[in-house]
Amino acid sequence: MKVKHLGALLLTLLTFFACDETTNTLGMDMLPDSDAMSAHTMTFDVTTQSIEAGAVYAKTSTGYVGKFTDPEFGDYTASFLTELNCTDDFKFSDILPDVYEEYYDGDTLKGRGTLVDEKVRGLRLLVYYDNWFGDSLSACRMSAYELNDTWIQERHDENTRYRYTDIDTKKYKGRLLGRKAYTAYDATVPDSVRNATDSNGNPTYYPCVIFNLDTQIGEEIMEKNRAYEKGENNYFANADNFIDNVFKGVYVENDFGDGTILYTYQVALEFQYQFHYVDSLGVALKKKVNDENGNIGDDSTYLARQSLFASTKEVIQANQFSNSQKLTEKVNEKEWTYIKSPAGIFTEATLPFDEIYAELSQDTLNAVKLTFTNYAEKNNFEFAMEAPSYVLLLRKQDMKTFFEENQIYDNITSFIATHNSNGTNQYHFSNIARLVSTCLNEKNAARIKAKEEAGTSWNEETWNAQWNEENPDWNKVVLIPVQLTTQSTSSNSSVTTAVEHNLQPGYAKLQGGSPEQGGQKLTLEVTYTSFPE
């Protein structure tokens, strides 16, 4: 049994070896004695460097807002914009009771409806958050603006990069809706309220930053909706019409304070109305007070609120992150590399595919291991960032399409590793053999085609140099901090349903860098099977 070309053999034998390291002797007892195989291990050098992440694709329902300064990486700021969803064919009359009217039905006084009138008694913008990074007591101020007409024009433009974190959110700022001072942990809320639950044990308190808006905004929305019910416009037929013609959305930024990043999960527009207390017959109840003549008081009323329009996954939400110049300084350090989120630094690794082909073209790859080790740094900063829990190893040339197309790692050209924080402080990829075979097969297919076209003028060395020049990223992978979304299955296991850029603060300092400038090369460990000639 002779094996001459790695490219022709890789895909076949990877079926036996690539996925399971415990099957590296599978099938050997079926081969003749003269074809006995032997397994070996060889190591190759891997060079790494830090690269600036730049703008990253961020299709997420979480909005980040705040400013945080780290002594190592400098400051970064986060802001976001979001549209508010409107359900199809929305009508206020469908969700509000009728205005209360007294009338006689025979000898019985009855009431109809509980609404005092159709006036908007209060309007609030609520920015809900479920977590934060940094100092929970840091004094900050948040400003909220309605989006302007520029947003309306560009939201329909397919070339607008609003899903990327370099979006210029400030150019979409319209009228100021309000400003509000806040701390992530609101110390004015008593524990009895903070820890309260309903009859089912669910919490009734949800942290949020509240903006009291001009009620005229609410009146304008209601007026347009009355016209819609009369068939005079189509503004509430769907979310797009609502955004284009009624309420464009909200831009939220931090304009004072440093030390906290809020993770918001919803922005809602909440209306307040006045209602009658009524009895079982629908009759308005009177206040239990008497005047000097013994007459009972006026009708008893109360105010109630209802969130009618809110940010959801069906409408656009876009985050903007900006980093200080200090981030670039960290990228330029050559003694090691970094990964830093959000939208900060990735580690790029150049894999020795040509060397592997030259050494092992007559052998079979069983397993290829690559490990990134991070330094266990001592940081006395009170709110130090931690190493990201998950990283994605991905071909550099696939970075854009992987996230834009919402791909899931396939263990062929994309792999996930979990940070081993309790042991080795490593991100370990136990077998990327299928990545190596994919890249080598890709180049080999191009070589065969080019050789056929060149005929007698074929020059292997010249073609190889030209290929590497025209395809500079073919042998490069990138280590990227990511977040995973998983879903439980009926068999009590879980499957990954989404892989997204990690937009929460985190970093790791990794061994590697430029050997010529104080760094060190990493080791790629290749286990392969040899066949005798």
30 pLDDT band, cuts 50/70/90, is: very low
Residues 136 and 253 in one domain: yes
Residues 47 and 99 in one domain: no
Residues 240 and 93 in one domain: yes
Last residue of a domain, one of 261, 285, 312: 312
Residues 289 and 424 in one domain: no
Least confident of 9-23, 218-232, 275-289: 9-23
Quote the distance between the C-alpha of residue 339 and its chain's center. Answer: 16
Last residue of a domain, one of 312, 336, 366: 312
Rank 41-55, 271-285, 447-461 by mean pLDDT and report only the highest.
41-55
Residues 255 and 352 in one domain: no
The torsion angle over the Cα atoms of residues 288, 293, 299 and 304, rounded to 10 degrees, is -50
How far apart are the C-alpha atoms of 423 and 374, rounded to whole Å?
A: 12
Q: pLDDT (tens digit, 9 = 90+) per residue, 502-522?
A: 999 999 999 999 999 999 999
Which of 66, 60, 104 lies closest to 82, judged by CA?
Answer: 60
Backbone dihedral angles phi then psi of residue 173, each to the nearest 5 degrees: -70, 120
Mean pLDDT (whole number) for 295-306: 85
Residues 362 and 423 in one domain: yes
Residues 6+ apart with CB under 8 A from 30: none
Q: Which domain holds residue 106?
A: 63-312
End-to-end CA distance of the chain: 8
pTM score, whole prediction:
0.86
Residues 6+ apart with CB under 8 A from 290: 296, 297
Mean pLDDT (whole number) for 197-226: 94
451 pLDDT band, cuts 50/70/90, is: very high
pLDDT at position 491 is 78
Residue bearing tokens 């008497």: 290
Residues 144, 250: contact at Cβ < 8 Å?
yes
Which residues are bridge partners to 477 per DSSP? 349, 395
Residues 6+ apart with CB under 8 A from 40: 527, 528, 529, 530
H or E, element range at 156: none
Residues 351, 524: contact at Cβ < 8 Å?
yes
How far apart are the C-alpha atoms of 268 and 270, rounded to whole Å?
A: 6
pLDDT at position 332 is 97
399: number of Cβ within 10 Å: 19
How far apart are the C-alpha atoms of 438 and 419, rounded to whole Å?
A: 26
Q: To the nearest whole number, what is the mean pLDDT of the chain?
A: 88
Is residue 367 assigned to a domain? yes
Residues 156 and 219 in one domain: yes
pLDDT at position 105 is 56
Residue bearing tokens 């397919």: 158
Instruction: Output the CA–CA distances (angstroms, integers) from residue 273 to 35, 339, 517, in the order listed.
Output: 86, 50, 68
Quote the percentage of the chain above a pLDDT of 70: 90
Residues 433 and 504 in one domain: yes
Least confident of 109-113, 285-289, 500-504: 109-113
Instruction: Output the CA–CA distances (angstroms, integers) from residue 305 to 123, 215, 480, in the order listed.
Output: 9, 13, 43
pLDDT at position 422 is 77
Residues 78 and 218 in one domain: yes
Residues 33 and 111 in one domain: no
pLDDT at position 113 is 84
How far apart are the C-alpha atoms of 362 and 279, rounded to whole Å?
A: 90
Q: Give the DSSP letter of residue 384.
A: P
Residues 302 and 397 in one domain: no
Is residue 500 assigned to a domain? yes
Residue bearing tokens 């415990």: 22
Residues 67 and 44 in one domain: no
Amino acid at 358: A
* Count: domains in the chain: 2
Radius of gyration over every alpha carbon of the chain, rounded to an integer in angstroms = 31
Is residue 80 assigned to a domain? yes
Is residue 1 assigned to a domain? no
Longest dimension (CA), the chain: 118
Within 13 Å and on the Cβ side, how many CA atoms surround 150?
A: 12
Last residue of a domain, one of 280, 312, 344: 312
Above 70 in pLDDT, residue 26?
no
Is residue 145 assigned to a domain? yes
